[in-house]
Amino acid sequence: MNGDPLSSYQFLTTCPKGLASLLAPEITHLGGTDVRETVAGVQFTGTLATAYRVCLHSRLANRLLLELKTFAANDGDDLYQGLVSMPWHEHIGLHTTIAVDFSGRSQAIRNTQFGAQRCKDGIVDEIRRQRGERPSVDSKHPDIRINVRLHRGKVVVALDFAGLSLHRRGYRTSPGKAPLKENIAAALLQRAGWPKAIEQGWPLVDPMCGSGTLLIEAAMMAMRYPPGLGRDWHGFERWLGHDEAQWQTLVAEAKSAICTPPEGLEIRGYDGDITAIRRAEASVAELGLSKLISVRPRSLNTLTRPSHRSMPHGLVICNPPWGERLGDESSLTYLYRQLGEVLHREFQGWQVAIVTSNPALGRSVGLRSHKQYGLSNGALDIHLLLFTLDERNRLSDRPQVVQHKDEDAPRAIVDNPWNNVQPPAESLSSGAQMFANRLRKNSRSLSPWLKRTGVTCYRLYDADMPEYAVAVDIYDGHPHVAEYAPPKAVDEASANKRFDEVLLGVRHVLGLARGQGIATKRRQRQRGKEQYTKFAQRGERIEVKEGHATLLVNLHDYLDTGLFLDHRPLRRRLAEEAQGKHFLNLFCYTGSASVHAALGGARTSTSIDSSNTYLNWYRDNLALNGLSDRQHRAIRADGLTWLKQCDQVFDIILLDPPSFSNSRSTQVSLDIVRDQVALIDAAMAVLAPTGVLYFSNNKRGFVLAERIVERYAVEDISAQTIPEDFKRRSTIHQCWMLRHR
């Protein structure tokens, strides 16, 4: 069969749900007539030239089906008879491989494999009757694919004209994890107004570009680059009705229509995942678009508006991670909020388009969307949210404390300092008055240092008076009181009385009414598995600032809050030294040191801990700061076991193990006195020749083993790492700096 260039055929172009209204005008523009939207896509009438143009130019279609016959069928025999009566020898050559895609069911046909088998039998039997031989079947890579649809007793038989989905452009060298389909990306760009932005010469920025699909589709639109040119195979090429001369003519026309983009048009993509950037670079290079598309590794927290020339307007479009794709919803909430803050700060006057599968994550951005569209990416429903960034679209306030469902739950209501706070009208016992006086004295003493350094999370009191053995910490205005284990000579009643006096003194100095805003811990000495016992189930976390980092702390649920205040100087030091380095954080806890290193410019970081709870907490801290969990990895493992298997080299290593640990997850115990040599040797084995290892612990009376001092260049820097607010407890931790000799 030779296709008649002037004959008209019936076609169905399928597309993802929600795109038919965009696909219909595209088909009309490509020459289709009698265009009708359907549930599955768009039906139209057209010539072979029209079909070839769709294969070359359609940015939105999935499959293009050339309808060959429609008939009624009640069972498998009817299906077979309908197929065997068609002139397949006019469509399929003898040495052409075939496959049948069957969809639908009836009372008699309940299995798609059965339906496909009966259709295949009909096709090959007709060709064998005409030619004496049957064609071969290749279900994975056929030359020609036949599409058969059964619905309400009616069968539509069609030739899959393109052979594969038209969303496959051919430029993806490696798609990466959870890629956005190319035709979905094109649709998102159209919905976001990119064609109009091209006319106005606006730039486009994708701050989370991944493998670069949105960037490439945007560039192809700007250059009128036919998306089908990159495909090296089309199903119609082995169809006997194919007109090769006409196809080559249309290919030549498509190539000649490619234009240069408007003068000065810029398309930029960033991502914190260096591997994703490399994939994007490879795909951009495959299409020869490196002069138009710029991709660079950059975390969200460092994103700024392009500044080398005036850019008052532009389009930001991004496809952040979804809960179904990457990460968990807790971390993603912080990531989306960070995205909203960066957009609001850097891109006033621009248009923004954000893709998400979870509308709740979209609301976490904190900006008002003026338009939303729904569509499908494979089996997943996704949403496109459009924003205009102007003075009317204000960023909603970020709540500092997630309130407990109990309306009487304590909440902090004051900020530091409290020099002018009016104490509550509540009489104080002599003990409470004495404690309050000490708090005021400490506050006056620390005030100049706090103002000079900008520190907002600090220790206000640390068992200054033996009879009040508590630590009072302030986290951005939120007080936290933790009791040390009282001496055995102090009976329980006396201990309770003193603790009540502490709380009364804290409330008096901070101006808190009874029941307001003090997180308390009746702390006991705990060992082994008990050291991580959960105190409550409130799940409340607040955000605090430390240097350039924003960190999450939990004042109620655990023995510790998620941020060891005494290590503040060491974290600052790591941030200052991390630029361009590979950082390893062993026993990373909630990863605050890794966040500081990342914000300080660490090229990569790897954080190891045996607790899923703390690793998830760390991932939330990463997201809160707009940092990529691909560039800054979190690994659940026992530290020593992981070190023995590690084949990487690091420039900076932080080794801050607990004094003792008995992990249920790994069944491995750790005693820092017993295991210090094995730990340090294993860590030094993965330290670069010019690298530095910081080893710290809070074990009272700990002495560094002589073998360590003999093997490595060791410097005791404990005094340099004790902050001003811990001077009274200068032995709270020890810290050494180790290098290779």
Give the C-alpha separation, 397 to 395, whole Å: 6
Burial (CB < 10 A; 0-12, 13-18, 19+), residue 46, is buried
pLDDT at 512: 78
Contact 316, 386 (CB under 8 A): no
Q: Does domain 182-224+259-388 have CATH number 3.40.50.150?
A: yes
274 has a pLDDT exceeding 90: no
Note whether 182-224+259-388 and 564-741 share their fold.
yes
pLDDT at 128: 93
Residue with structure tokens 């026993």?
587
Q: At 361, is the pLDDT very low, low, confident or very high (cuts 50, 70, 90)?
A: confident
The per-residue pLDDT for range 498-521, each reduced to its tens digit, is: 999 999 999 989 887 665 678 998
The per-residue pLDDT for range 644-694, each reduced to its tens digit, is: 999 999 999 999 999 887 765 556 788 899 999 999 999 999 999 999 999
Smallest Cα–Cα separation from 25: which of 5, 44, 49? 44
Judged by DSSP in three states, 470 sits in: strand
Instruction: Give me Rg for the CA atoms of the chain.
Output: 33
pLDDT at 357: 87
Q: Which CATH superfamily is domain 564-741 in?
A: Vaccinia Virus protein VP39 (3.40.50.150)
pLDDT at 94: 84
Burial (CB < 10 A; 0-12, 13-18, 19+), residue 275, is middle
The per-residue pLDDT for range 374-431, each reduced to its tens digit, is: 988 877 889 999 999 999 999 987 644 333 333 323 333 233 344 444 455 557 889 9
Q: At 6, is the pLDDT very low, low, confident or very high (cuts 50, 70, 90)?
A: low
pLDDT at 494: 86
Give the C-alpha separation, 652 to 602, whole Å: 10
Smallest Cα–Cα separation from 563: which of 599, 593, 522, 529? 593
Is the N-terminal amide bond of 417 cis, ω within 30° of 0?
Answer: yes
pLDDT at 287: 87
pLDDT at 150: 95
46 has a pLDDT exceeding 90: yes
pLDDT at 264: 84
CATH number for the region 399-551 comes to: 3.30.750.80
Greater pLDDT, 415 or 523: 523
pLDDT at 405: 33
pLDDT at 326: 44
The per-residue pLDDT for range 59-103, each reduced to its tens digit, is: 999 999 999 999 999 999 999 999 999 999 999 998 899 999 999
pLDDT at 3: 59
Greater pLDDT, 417 or 285: 285
Least confident stretch, 10-14, 52-56, 372-376: 372-376
C-alpha 563 chain-centroid distance: 24
Q: Which is it for the CA torsion 178, 184, 188, 194, positive or negative?
A: positive
The per-residue pLDDT for range 97-136, each reduced to its tens digit, is: 999 999 998 989 999 999 999 999 999 999 999 998 989 9
Domain boundaries, the chain: 9-160, 182-224+259-388, 399-551, 564-741
Phi and psi, residue 632, nearest 5°: -120, 95
39 has a pLDDT exceeding 90: no
> 3-state DSSP: the chain helix, strand, coil percent, rounded to 5?
35, 25, 40
Beta strands in 195-348 (DSSP E): 204-206, 267-271, 293-297, 315-318
Q: Which CATH number is 9-160's, of 3.40.109.10, 3.40.47.10, 3.30.2130.30, 3.40.50.720?
A: 3.30.2130.30
Greater pLDDT, 581 or 261: 581
pLDDT at 535: 57
Mean pLDDT (the chain) is 88
Q: At 533, is the pLDDT very low, low, confident or very high (cuts 50, 70, 90)?
A: very low
Least confident stretch, 229-233, 241-245, 355-359, 663-667: 663-667
243 has a pLDDT exceeding 80: yes
